Structure 1
Amino acid sequence: MQNKNIRKISISAVLLALGFVLSFIKIPMFTGGSITFFSMVPIVLLAYMYGTPWGLLCGGIHGLLQIIEGGLDAPPVPSAFNYFLVFMLDYLLAWALVGLAGLFRKISKNPAVCLGVGGIVGVFGRFICSTLSGILIWSVYYPEWAPGIGMLIGSAGANLLTLGPEMVITAVGACIIGCIPYLKKIMEKERV
């Protein structure tokens, strides 16, 4: 039992490190975010292999690593509460929700399908958090957004510019990994 836990933690550490390194390969966007290449795929894989709770935990850890790498973005109206919201909505919770990919680990016998659907849903969870953050915190920068539905549309649109491509990249990358026989065998062996 202890060896299995050590193996799980070791594999998780390696995949989180891989996701962290992949997050440096990015295209900055004018909206303030960036498009990375496959940085969320390791979280999707962990959620698939070890379940949703583990995926949420690993996603949250990845969010903390993002703060270490780039610092915590200062909110436009500095207050302890706004810093807390940025910490939760842009980093900890947003990245943790990528771990929702684990909810779809049993929808098909084909791992590529489970990983692809899980990747889409996980990135969509991050999109919801980032959109909420845009409405609650960052909308100060966009006074042209009308209150209410205009703020929702503006924030969703701005986040869709980065997380839309991220969703496609993550789903495709996860599907490809699910199609490679050697990796599929390893993932099935690790599944709990």
Structure 2
Amino acid sequence: MDKNKTRLIAQVGVAVALATVLQYVKIMQLPQGGSVSLQSVPIIVMALLYGPKVGMLVGGIFGLVEVLLDSYVIHPIQFLLDYPVPFMVLGLAGLWANKKVLSIGFAYCLRYLAHILSGVVFFGEYAPAGTNVWLYSIMYNGSYLIPEAVLTAIVSIWLWRQLQKRGFSELAQ
């Protein structure tokens, strides 16, 4: 195995480990699940540095690790919609290298959509009586994902710029 592949494998492992630790540093926690944290920053930064394939790999591995450590699974489809899929799609933040805010926003919209679908199909019973389940899922998931997306975008772009200043882009090639 060449030196660059070994370096990339190590960086993927470090990114997954960082995301795992950051998921426990909660800025805000909602009563029925969902929280604001910076867990997605390592996934986004790897996507910005290496592109969507590596970003999706990091996100997918993190989603599986999260299931092992802290999950609530009631159905195989809900498992997919709440764990590997939302974090894999965050890797798509590496799609448009020159439009980082747009890329991160797009990736978070896809994550939001996965959680909305899971909420409608599997957690609609928690909606207050008379409340549309779609509206409830949009509001509930948006209450933590929108602030997290904004914080993650700010921190990820800042961190990416710091890495660029220190010559990290040459290592990522």
Regarding TM over 0.5, the answer is: yes
Q: Which residue of 1 aligns with 2:81?
A: 89
3-state DSSP of counterpart to 1:104: coil
Q: TM-score, normalised by structure 1?
A: 0.81
Partner of 2:134: 152
Letter of the 2:112 counterpart: F
Aligned-residue sequence identity (percent) comes to 29
Question: 4+ residue stretches of structure 1 with deviation over 4 A?
Answer: none
Q: In 2, distance between residues paired with 1:132 and 1:95?
A: 15
**TM-score relative to the length of structure 2:** 0.90
8 Å contact kept, 2:16–2:43: yes
Asked whether 1:189 is paired with 2:170, we answer yes
Whether the aligned pair in 1 keeps the contact of 2:116 and 2:137 (CA below 8 Å) is yes
Task: Provide, for residues 74-113 of structure 1, a one-character-per-residue CA deviation record: whole Å limited to 9, x for no partner.
Answer: 43xxxxxxx20121000010111111101122x25xxxxx
Gaps of 5+ in 2: none
Is this contact kept in 1: 2:73–2:79, CA < 8 A?
Answer: no
- TM-align CA RMSD: 1.8
- Summarize the alignment of residues 129-148 of structure 1 with structure 2, pairs less than 5 Å apart: 129-142=114-127, 144=129
Aligned match for 2:91, one of 83, 94, 99: 99
What displacement does 1:144 show? Answer: 2.5
Amino acid in the other structure paired with 1:19: A
The aligned residue for residue 58 of structure 2 is 58
CA spacing shift, 1:143–1:151, aligned 2, 3 Å: same
2:113: which partner in 1?
128
Name the CA distance, whole Å, in 2 between partners of 1:153 and 1:165: 18
Provide structure 1 residue ranges, at least 5 long, that are not aligned to the other structure: 76-82, 109-113
Q: Which residue identity does 1:93 align to in structure 2? A: V
Cα drift, residue 145 of structure 1: 5.2
- CA distance, structure 2, for counterparts of residue 136 and residue 187 of structure 1: 43
